[in-house]
Structure 1
Amino acid sequence: MRTAYKERIAGRLTLVTSLIILVVFGVIYLVANLTVVNSIDRELGLEIDKHKDEIFLVNGKIQFLHKDEWQEMEHSQIQLNPIFIEIVDLEGHSMDRSPNLRSNHLSFSPEKSAKKEAWTLRIGANEVRQMQIPLFNAGEHEGYLLLAKSFEDSRELLNNLRTVLLLLYPGVLLSLFLAMRYLAGKSIQPIRQIISKTNQITQSNLNERVPLAEPNDEIGQLTRSINELLERLEASLNREKQFTSDASHELRTPLSVLRGTLEVLVRKPRTSEEYQEKIQTALSSIDRMSATIDQLLALAREEKGKFSTKEELELITFLEEISDQMAKEQRRKITFRCESGVPVFVKANEKSLEMIMTNLIQNAVKYSSPESEILVKTGLKSGLPYIEICDDGSGIAPEHLERIFDPFFREQAAVDRLIPGTGLGLAIVKKLAQESGIRISVSSEKGQGSTFRMDFPHS
């Protein structure tokens, strides 16, 4: 079972925050522990400074100057934060100690005496903090003074602090999780609204859009992205519908002609000339359908990325070959002219560029007179390659310049003049050019001819 998104957000934020709080609680405990220990160590230092000058040698033994001080409350009782004192010789043998030690001894550690370093140990049932210093007499090292202070009250304070922090920690985490969960739920509320609205959008109401609440934040960017996607889907669906309708119309017309021709043939016997005429009409309809299907297949191949592989291509040689080949096939005068003094190289798919050039030249041939010349030019402008296909044909009306690349679009004048075509050639050219990153444009004047131009990007 998948966890809700707000639960995951709350969990991740709580996990990160819990680690931060754990570090903070640890620092608090360490600072408190260090403060308490330093405080006790300072007190031990003061006690050592107080007692080290009260010790002297009597008959080779180390004793206190005022023995009655050993009988004071702090040295004779275990309670009330007592002070423990012991004097040892160089080997660590006890020479004298405060009465509150009773039968216990302090820890002997000569290596720590030089640094005046304190450490924690246990004396019987009590935990103490001890410090040790060397004792000198007339420059001679005679023994050590060991002094300890009870650590019980401080340990209880630190234990209570640790207990409070440990008990507080899960409560803080629970509170954090609930707060984060609530805030996460409020934060993703706009996303829920987007989900609810997009779930209501179907093919039948694809024109609807998700309301834009906060345009400048990430939710606004998401909303704009979804709306732009819906616009592209709507445009694609409309193009598909129009394409299907146009394709059906284009295929239905030659099928109707073919059916009508065959129905006429079967009604009664005909002469061989009539059969030949009707069969020729049927073949023309089949040729028209074949051309349409070939163009549709070309569009399908382009949409599947069949022409996506690019390679370096030298345009001058390539265009010379295309121009010569098309001149022979179309039996028209097609002239190639290079306006660059150096070789022109582009990064393109050769098959794709060949299909573009074939369609554009065929288009120029269809809409210009048989005696006119088709001009193919190439060169460099601002360092970028270009190709132009020029004709002096019938031209394109200004209001139709934006639509000539739509599938199945043909000017009514061309239809009325019975100029053959499917209306797919320029659509294929546009798609192939977009796939190759080529910018294609057209300039035309009615009755004066047209010029199709292709500008190539940086290689």
Structure 2
Amino acid sequence: MEAKSIYKQFYTKLIIATSLFIITLSFIFYSYTKRTVYENIQKSMLLDAKNIHKSSIAEYTKSQKFQALQSRNTTIDLINNINLKDYKFYIYEKGNNYFIKLLYPFDMKNRKFIEIKRNINFERELLYSIIFKNLFILAIPGFILMLLYSLAVSRSLLKPILQINKKLSNMDENSLTKIDKKDLPIEFHSLANSINSLTNRIETYVKFKKELFIGAAHELKTPLAVMKLKNEVTLRKQRDTEKYEETLKLTIKQIDDMNIMISSILDIGRAEGAQFEQTTELDLVEYMKKKANDYRMLSAQKNIIITFFSNVNFFNTSMQVTLFNQILQNFVQNAIKFTPDNKSISIRLKKTKEKIIITVLDEGIGINEDIDLFAPFKRVGTQSGVGLGLFLAKNAADALRAKISIKNRKDGKSGCIAKLILNNPSNKKEI
């Protein structure tokens, strides 16, 4: 199928529409002018008939005579046996001549009517030759102007699309630039915002992927180097059994750490696959209650109390559960990891008209807000970990078209507030 040009389609349709408008307007103007001219003629004939009736009826009653009149364009006569109850006009053609005829009641008792016939060749010629022809002659330059205007308007209206298209066609992962809305019509701002948002996501994704590959190589290379060096040193000479055991334990620990890292990297691949997961209908309040109970088993080791609050008792929604669970689980696990013993963690769900806001508030050590914690291999404090959890959570949030953030508490206490903001579809039900 041949590709169609939106530019050609636009100006073609504009030309056709404008042409039909000019033609229709011309016929309307011609019909209106014709009707006006004919109505004026008929009014004049009717007035003449009334005057003739008024001036001739008395004399006709006495002498029973009616004087017929004839001029170059008009004939007046009295005719009999006409079966009409009122006056009536006729427009007809006879021998290439056009006439308007009026029958006006003169003596209704004897069925006599005044007949006035008027030749309207001149008026018709005036309509056709002067008005109708000149109207279409004037329409030709109008059509040309309309054609030029259509081409100009098409180019003007399509300029923003061409500008966006050119911008996008020149983009790749190494040159991602935002679309400037300054020169765009307001109708294109929403499109530009969507493209800029997508560009930001791609830019962040590419940046984090590069950091992930570099970080993974570095994180794997370091324990391998340590194991290699320790084993080489151990094998240089005969040693006690305890030294060999120490080396083997170090090797096992490094292998365990690498396994954890590799598992986290595999989780990233699974998370990307989870983006294509089908949505599941669930009661979000009930689901989060169950998850909070599960997390209490983890927090019991540190005697940390986990509480759950919601401003609605029941909330049915459709969601990609795997992605949502990755975010919630990471929030809570980090809160447990960085919260001291005998403290508390609060999980909250707040439903508003447009948003679903989920927060996890802890009493931990807080964060350095100058660090991008969502980048791969970013760690907080001295706690063990690969540093990929929040990176996974950010990817999951992007897939859910949600916003994710971690800030320090502002209520004077130490700790963080991890927040997930989801869009609230309009068809959800709550109690």
Give the TM-score normalised by structure 1: 0.69
Aligned-partner Cα distance in 2 for 1:35–1:27: 12
Measured after TM superposition, the shift of residue 405 of structure 1 is 3.2
Measured after TM superposition, the shift of residue 342 of structure 1 is 9.8
1:148 to 2:117 alignment: yes
Aligned-partner Cα distance in 1 for 2:397–2:244: 45
Within the candidate set 384, 397, 414, 1:420 is matched to 384
Aligned-partner Cα distance in 1 for 2:179–2:309: 52
Structure 1 counterpart of 2:93: 122
Measured after TM superposition, the shift of residue 155 of structure 1 is 1.8
1:89 to 2:60 alignment: no
Aligned-partner Cα distance in 1 for 2:52–2:182: 78
CA contact (8 A) 1:307 1:351 kept: no
1:41 to 2:21 alignment: no
CA-to-partner distance for each residue in 1:337-395, whole Å, 9 max, x for gaps? 547699965667665565445444544565577xx345333468899986646456xx3
Measured after TM superposition, the shift of residue 422 of structure 1 is 0.7
Aligned-partner Cα distance in 1 for 2:144–2:75: 47
Indicate how the Cα distance of structure 1 residues 195 and 254 shifts in structure 2: closer, same or farther if over 3 A, else same.
Answer: same
Indicate how the Cα distance of structure 1 residues 316 and 376 shifts in structure 2: closer, same or farther if over 3 A, else same.
Answer: farther
SS in 1 for 2:375: coil
Structure 2 counterpart of 1:321: 294
Indicate how the Cα distance of structure 1 residues 300 and 307 shifts in structure 2: closer, same or farther if over 3 A, else same.
Answer: farther
Aligned-partner Cα distance in 1 for 2:253–2:242: 17
Indicate how the Cα distance of structure 1 residues 280 and 454 shifts in structure 2: closer, same or farther if over 3 A, else same.
Answer: same
Measured after TM superposition, the shift of residue 409 of structure 1 is 0.6
Aligned-partner Cα distance in 1 for 2:48–2:120: 15
1:31 to 2:22 alignment: no
Measured after TM superposition, the shift of residue 121 of structure 1 is 1.4
Within the candidate set 234, 237, 250, 2:203 is matched to 234
1:403 to 2:394 alignment: no
Measured after TM superposition, the shift of residue 32 of structure 1 is 1.4
Aligned-partner Cα distance in 1 for 2:402–2:172: 33
Query: Which one is further off, 245-254 or 277-286?
Result: 277-286
Aligned-partner Cα distance in 1 for 2:238–2:92: 128
Residue correspondence of structure 1 range 192-271 to structure 2 within 5 A: 192=162, 195-196=165-166, 199-206=169-176, 214=183, 217-218=186-187, 229-257=198-226
CA contact (8 A) 2:34 2:127 kept: yes
Measured after TM superposition, the shift of residue 129 of structure 1 is 0.7
Indicate how the Cα distance of structure 1 residues 387 and 256 shifts in structure 2: closer, same or farther if over 3 A, else same.
Answer: same
Residue correspondence of structure 1 range 164-179 to structure 2 within 5 A: 164-179=134-149
1:9 to 2:35 alignment: no
CA contact (8 A) 1:307 1:352 kept: no
Measured after TM superposition, the shift of residue 235 of structure 1 is 3.3
Indicate how the Cα distance of structure 1 residues 251 and 444 shifts in structure 2: closer, same or farther if over 3 A, else same.
Answer: farther
Aligned-partner Cα distance in 1 for 2:168–2:308: 54
CA contact (8 A) 1:336 1:376 kept: yes
Indicate how the Cα distance of structure 1 residues 429 and 217 shifts in structure 2: closer, same or farther if over 3 A, else same.
Answer: closer
Aligned-partner Cα distance in 1 for 2:388–2:348: 28
CA-to-partner distance for each residue in 1:8-52, whole Å, 9 max, x for gaps? 333333333223322321221112111221122123224423544
Looking at CA atoms only, which structure, 1 or 2, has the larger radius of gyration? 1
- Note the residue ranges of structure 2 that are not aligned, 5 or more in a row: 425-429
Structure 2 counterpart of 1:443: 408
Q: Which amino acid aligns with 2:293?
A: E
CA-to-partner distance for each residue in 1:247-272, whole Å, 9 max, x for gaps? 22223334445666787899999998
Q: Which amino acid aligns with 1:322?
A: Y
Aligned-partner Cα distance in 2 for 1:357–1:231: 24
Aligned-partner Cα distance in 1 for 2:313–2:125: 89
Indicate how the Cα distance of structure 1 residues 388 and 126 shifts in structure 2: closer, same or farther if over 3 A, else same.
Answer: closer
Indicate how the Cα distance of structure 1 residues 430 and 375 shifts in structure 2: closer, same or farther if over 3 A, else same.
Answer: farther
- Note the residue ranges of structure 1 that are not aligned, 5 or more in a row: 75-79, 93-109
SS in 2 for 1:290: helix
1:157 to 2:130 alignment: no
In percent, how many aligned pairs have the same letter?
21
Indicate how the Cα distance of structure 1 residues 9 and 40 shifts in structure 2: closer, same or farther if over 3 A, else same.
Answer: same
SS in 1 for 2:222: helix
Aligned-partner Cα distance in 2 for 1:292–1:427: 13
Q: How many residues align?
A: 408
Q: Which amino acid aligns with 2:220?
A: L
Q: Which amino acid aligns with 2:80?
A: D
SS in 2 for 1:133: strand
Structure 2 counterpart of 1:290: 259
Q: Which amino acid aligns with 1:184?
A: S
Q: Which amino acid aligns with 2:408?
A: S
Aligned-partner Cα distance in 1 for 2:357–2:204: 32
Aligned-partner Cα distance in 2 for 1:141–1:168: 54
